[in-house]
A and B are shown apart, each in its own frame.
Chain A
Amino acid sequence: MDDLLKEFLAETQEALEMLDSELVELEQRPGDPQLLGSIFRIMHTIKGTCGFLGLPRLEFVAHAAEDVLGKIRDGELVVTAQGVSLVLGALDRIKELIDALGQLGEEPKGSDADIIDDLHLLASGDLPAEGADDEESFAAAVAPEVTAEAVVVDESRLPGLYQRVGGAAVFDTAAETACSELLSVASDHADAETEMLNLQFALAGAFASALSGKDGASDDIDGVIAGLVNNGWSANELQLLREGFGKALGTLEVAEEDVAVVLSRFKVEGAPVAAVSNIVVLDDMVEDNDVPDMQVEAEVEVVKAPVARAVPPKGAKPAKKAPKAEKVEDVDLSSAAAAVQAQPQTLRVNINVLENLMNMVSELVLTRNQLLQTLRGFTDSPFSAPLQRLNQVTTELQESVMQTRMQPIGNAWSKLPRLVRDLTQELGKKIELVMTGADTELDRQILESIKDPLTHMVRNSADHGLELPEERREAGKAECGRILLDARHEGGHILVEVSDDGRGLPTSRIRAKVIQNGLATEAQLEGMSEQQIQQFIFRPGFSTAAAVTSVSGRGVGMDVVRTNIEKIGGVIEFTSREGQGSRFIIKIPLTLAIVSALIVECGGERFAMPQSSVIELVRISKNSAKGVELINGHPVYRLRDRLLPLVALNEMLGLDRKPEGEGNELYVVVAQVGSFVFGIIVDRVFDTEEIVVKPASRTLRHISLFSGTTILGDGSVIMILDPNGISAATSEATHEAVDDKVAATVSSRHETVSMLVFKAGSGGNKAVPLSLIARLEEADLSTAEFAGERTVIQYRGGLMPLVGFDGLPAARDGQHPILVFAEGDRMCGLVVDEVVDIVEGSLDLQLVSGGAERGLLGSSIIDGKSTDVIDTVHYLRQSDAAWFELQTHEPFGSESERRVLLVEDSSFFRNLLMPMLKMAGYRVTIAEHAEAALGICNDGNEKFDIIVSDIEMPGLSGFDLARTLRADDKWKATPMVALSSHASPQDFERGRHAGFTEYVTKLDPKALLTSLSRVLAAGDNERESAA
């Protein structure tokens, strides 16, 4: 593909995106001539270029669309939704063709007769006036000519121009002439002679100060013009004034080149065009397919449109008496050209070139740092002065290059107006999209990554958030819903807000959905604030849309949005008020390329930690009273009034520990990810440095603990730590955590239990819940004694029977660890080969066939390994058949067998409790969840003396079950015992409130048995006393 075509493609894609938004705008403001002019011009350019490049299909479609637009512009057609749709349809076809052209290098075959016919029909809907077309082509034909014969504005003439033309007096006279001439031409203003006089002074003063080289004085001219616009001057009148001014200068013998320079300062329309075109410059430089902000472009356009249009009426103008009339015309044209040329002082630069430039500058920065470091020791080196300059220049260069990467966020928004328009039609809603802060700039890399999330959120707002017009009317709101996009800088970050004034997302619905999807239990939700519950919408698999529409509701989305935002170091938050709307707030960093980072050392290696996630540094002296404490082997530190979980970086990275005894201090980097705060233990902390982030090699990219690589000032390569990755690796739960409290609740969802893992007998690891073990002992079994058939050992003033893993009395030889199970004053020791570890594990028991005979409850994945979980009851019975007899003696005999309904979702606990209850003389019925329990209870035939229920279960919780049963006459009086892994006083209170008679901790089987007999005995007593 040749360069010409490539450039055409890039340009046209830009233009098309702009057309998209502008057409939608046109629909809302049908009468806006500037907008129309801009749209018409873009379409015209496309048509013209296509004709030039020999692309007939594109040309014809564009031509037909242009016809319609021309008619609209000339007031022969009215802007209708149908008309706009047709033109948008033509745009889509042009896009398709352009895409195909990009791929094939030539226009695809096919016919566009359908679209063209429709457009022709639309164009001829009213009587076509022949003149209209002519005028367009005239204007179009004139425009290039203007450029061709234009006198170029030579900015280099500016210095000295003021003196050369003759100073303030000349401007004064010119302003006077121009004003009086305008007064004679535009008779409407005849009554405003005073106004003209004021204008004359203002104009003369403004030009004089602007051209005499005072700083910021060009604003004066803009100010004057803006004032005129505010007073109701039309662009045409301004143009007349401008022409008059130029002509007058000509009469005063000012060289025509100078006139051009002067007139280039006279910008018709008050907007500061010069500043605006700067932004356009950046856009164009940075990315080929990016659309400059449409408003900006529209303003620039204004400059051109009146100029071009001012050409035809010129011939009709009277009183061209000045001898230099011919010349004046030239000057005038040149000024038009000046306006055209002033706009695009831009260069299209390939993005790769820019990236490369960025890399080179990074190198330069590094080299500079290296030099500075080397020379730091020499105070009076001859290099210090040049190095100082090098330092400055490098810094400035770095800033400029960074600047080229910055783009207004409006670029990411450009597609949204069209999107919203299409949604309006699809959903039958009325939606207004308001965008503010579109010129807020941020790095293009970040811009790319927030494009999709933003689109998704706007889509979401339109689909879920906003109501149908009728609903809105009923709710007393304006029929037209509003989606607001806002961007602004705030302390080194960009805040982007997407909000709507729709129905909001009721917390109750989020709750229901969370429970339904099993993301959390009701008990957990109860402990959360509204704000915390609302964040659940970012969880995978969450969607509240009742129906799946083509727009959204597929249950993917918000979690992806969050992931994308977090990937670039951003944070997203959601708030909603029922009936008033919802709001997303995204906080993102300005740039990713250069970040400030804290350099730390760990295991002899240095690492960079992004400063943005570091809250503070803590040095803990090992001698101080308040040191690091351990909870179940996990280090924590009391930092002021909160408990800070700690992770050791060397352990996470598998690096060596710092040699013991070296230094009495511990350095902790306190980091924050989302709202999760944790401490990272490192060996040393160095300076902070500005580092250039480079992506990690693809062979290393899978390591989630690193986010990239960088080169330090001394030339060494170091890895950049990713706080997100570290926190995710620290704990699955913490990443989800909204705060510590929720983290605790969430993790309990998995029923984690501390398990003692040991080796005994053949096969792999065995495990037993830690809470069932009274003590761990080690004894030399050769000192063990016989007592009948059993092996016993003297222990704490009594005899303790010892059993081996095979269930037989333990062999009497060697030193062995012993797990001691105790109850009251009875004890039993299980002799094992080796105690491996204590781990926190979730208990999802897989039953093994014949396990019960071998004393196994089942097997579970603990710490990544399949582990057999032993049935303690089995061993206890082996060692002492009378173990559970104390419960079975009293108060129940076999004639009064008590029936227990055990509601428990975890198979582990079912398997643990059932044999125990059975042995204690109960007849046990099992329900695997609350719903099943209700089914059994409502069956009618079953009677239970007592119901034992777990609290945390999927679906209905134990509390729900208790409430339901308490409402039922039949079960009103049946004692209920709650079983839970939490046992705080509040839990007890809640349990009692829901209707439970007793509340027992899950891992204390003895307490359960005691409490069962107590509750039942109390019930019996009541009945007796009642009788």
Chain B
Amino acid sequence: MSADILKDMDDHGPTQDFVTMTVAGQAFGIPVLHVRDVLGPQRITRVPLAPAEIEGSLNLRGRIVTAVNMRQRLQLPKSDFPEKAMAVVVEYEDELYSLLVDEVGEVLRLCNSQRDNNPATLDAKWRQIADGLYRLEGSLLIVLNIAAVLGAIRAAA
């Protein structure tokens, strides 16, 4: 994204930066300040008896990161995932989690005027973890609510 466009967007009022990613074709975004790291495919240790969404644990420079399979979390088909999954590492309540997604895209600076609330027809499970969405050209970007994505796993556990 060129500086011109950034500048252009700035003119439209307050903006927010998002790390974008796709899971089964759907674009998601996480506020950039929440993202600690983006990793390529990692060696993940399976954890027996763990909740289905938990793919396992991995070692990120000596800290233990819990890997969450976002396809499973969003109840999407799993297919050849997660061998080549990308990982977006976020911190939630002093623990690191890595969200396994299909692809990680660029960082977008989005203008608040493009933001919409969740459509009322959105699936209840998705509505819980979505913090609204952005109308992009050609696609919609759902803003992920980290606390909702991870908190529910913990509550279920």
Instruction: Report if A and B associate in a common complex.
Output: yes
**Does B105 belong to the interface (CB within 8 Å)?**
no
CB-contact partner of A703 in B43, B49, B56, B57, under 8 A? B49
Q: Could you tell me the distance between the alpha carbons of A697 and B61 in the complex, rounded to whole angstroms?
A: 16
Asked whether, in the complex, the Cβ of A700 is within 8 Å of the Cβ of B43, the reply is: no
Asked whether, in the complex, the Cβ of B62 is within 8 Å of the Cβ of A605, the reply is: no
Knowing A697-B64, A715-B59, the reply to whether A654 touches B48 (Cβ < 8 A) is yes
Taking CB atoms, residues of chain B closer than 8 Å to A715 are: 59
Asked whether, in the complex, the Cβ of A697 is within 8 Å of the Cβ of B95, the reply is: yes
Nearest chain A CB to B69's CB is how many angstroms away? Answer: 12
**Does B129 belong to the interface (CB within 8 Å)?**
no
Asked whether, in the complex, the Cβ of A698 is within 8 Å of the Cβ of B43, the reply is: no
Taking CB atoms, residues of chain A closer than 8 Å to B26 are: none
Q: Could you tell me the distance between the alpha carbons of A711 and B65 in the complex, rounded to whole angstroms?
A: 11
Stretch with Cβ within 8 A of B (4 or more), from A80-88, A359-367, A381-389, A812-820: A359-367
Stretch with Cβ within 8 A of B (4 or more), from A16-24, A211-219, A575-583, A716-724: A716-724
**Does B34 belong to the interface (CB within 8 Å)?**
no
**Does B93 belong to the interface (CB within 8 Å)?**
yes
Nearest chain B CB to A104's CB is how many angstroms away? Answer: 27
Asked whether, in the complex, the Cβ of B59 is within 8 Å of the Cβ of A716, the reply is: yes
Asked whether, in the complex, the Cβ of B64 is within 8 Å of the Cβ of A694, the reply is: yes
**Which size class do B's interface residues fall under?**
20 to 34
Asked whether, in the complex, the Cβ of B48 is within 8 Å of the Cβ of A700, the reply is: no
Taking CB atoms, residues of chain A closer than 8 Å to B59 are: 711, 715-717
**Does A545 belong to the interface (CB within 8 Å)?**
no
Taking CB atoms, residues of chain B closer than 8 Å to A603 are: 48
Q: Could you tell me the distance between the alpha carbons of A706 and B45 in the complex, rounded to whole angstroms?
A: 14
Knowing A697-B95, A705-B49, the reply to whether A366 touches B62 (Cβ < 8 A) is yes
Against A, the Cβ 8 Å flags (1 = close, 0 = not) of B55-97 are 0111101101010000000000000000000000000010101
CB-contact partner of A717 in B48, B57, B154, under 8 A? B57
Q: Could you tell me the distance between the alpha carbons of A717 and B61 in the complex, rounded to whole angstroms?
A: 11
Knowing A363-B62, A715-B59, the reply to whether A699 touches B48 (Cβ < 8 A) is no
Closest to A363 in B: B62
Closest to A718 in B: B45
**Does B157 belong to the interface (CB within 8 Å)?**
yes
Against B, the Cβ 8 Å flags (1 = close, 0 = not) of A690-716 are 000010011111110110010100011
**Does B135 belong to the interface (CB within 8 Å)?**
no
Greatest chain B CB density within 10 A among A605, A699, A702, A705 is at A699
CB-contact partner of A653 in B48, B64, B150, under 8 A? B48
Asked whether, in the complex, the Cβ of A697 is within 8 Å of the Cβ of B48, the reply is: no
Q: Could you tell me the distance between the alpha carbons of A363 and B93 in the complex, rounded to whole angstroms?
A: 22
Asked whether, in the complex, the Cβ of A701 is within 8 Å of the Cβ of B157, the reply is: yes
Taking CB atoms and an 8 Å cut-off, the chain B residues in 31-60 that contact chain A are: 43, 45-51, 54, 56-59
Asked whether, in the complex, the Cβ of A717 is within 8 Å of the Cβ of B51, the reply is: no
Q: Could you tell me the distance between the alpha carbons of A605 and B93 in the complex, rounded to whole angstroms?
A: 28
**Does B108 belong to the interface (CB within 8 Å)?**
no
Taking CB atoms, residues of chain A closer than 8 Å to B47 are: 700, 703, 706, 719
**Does B146 belong to the interface (CB within 8 Å)?**
no
Residues of A in contact (CB 8 Å), total: 26
Taking CB atoms, residues of chain B closer than 8 Å to A711 are: 59, 62, 64
CB-contact partner of B50 in A694, A700, A716, under 8 A? A700
**Does B153 belong to the interface (CB within 8 Å)?**
yes
**Does A655 belong to the interface (CB within 8 Å)?**
yes
Knowing A653-B49, A694-B64, A717-B45, the reply to whether A700 touches B58 (Cβ < 8 A) is no
Asked whether, in the complex, the Cβ of A698 is within 8 Å of the Cβ of B93, the reply is: yes
Taking CB atoms, residues of chain A closer than 8 Å to B46 are: 605
Against B, the Cβ 8 Å flags (1 = close, 0 = not) of A668-702 are 00000000000000000000000000100111111
Taking CB atoms, residues of chain B closer than 8 Å to A697 are: 57, 64, 66, 95, 97
Against B, the Cβ 8 Å flags (1 = close, 0 = not) of A346-390 are 000000000000010011001000000000000000000000000
Closest to A698 in B: B154
Taking CB atoms and an 8 Å cut-off, the chain B residues in 123-155 that contact chain A are: 150, 153-154
Q: Could you tell me the distance between the alpha carbons of A248 and B55 in the complex, rounded to whole angstroms?
A: 78
Q: Could you tell me the distance between the alpha carbons of A99 and B62 in the complex, rounded to whole angstroms?
A: 38
Taking CB atoms, residues of chain A closer than 8 Å to B57 are: 697, 709, 717, 719
Taking CB atoms, residues of chain A closer than 8 Å to B154 are: 698-699
Taking CB atoms, residues of chain B closer than 8 Å to A694 are: 64
Asked whether, in the complex, the Cβ of A717 is within 8 Å of the Cβ of B64, the reply is: yes
Q: Could you tell me the distance between the alpha carbons of A257 and B131 in the complex, rounded to whole angstroms?
A: 70
Taking CB atoms, residues of chain A closer than 8 Å to B48 are: 603, 605, 653-655, 705, 719
Knowing A699-B50, A701-B157, A702-B157, the reply to whether A716 touches B64 (Cβ < 8 A) is no
Asked whether, in the complex, the Cβ of A362 is within 8 Å of the Cβ of B66, the reply is: no
Closest to B96 in A: A697
Asked whether, in the complex, the Cβ of A362 is within 8 Å of the Cβ of B95, the reply is: no
Nearest chain A CB to B73's CB is how many angstroms away? Answer: 11
Told that A703-B49, A711-B59, A717-B64 touch, could you supply 17 new A-B pairs with CB distance under 8 A? A363-B61, A605-B48, A655-B48, A697-B57, A697-B64, A698-B157, A699-B50, A699-B51, A699-B66, A700-B50, A700-B54, A700-B66, A700-B157, A701-B157, A703-B47, A705-B49, A717-B59
The 6 closest A-B CB pairs, nearest first, are: A653-B48, A363-B62, A697-B66, A717-B57, A717-B45, A702-B157
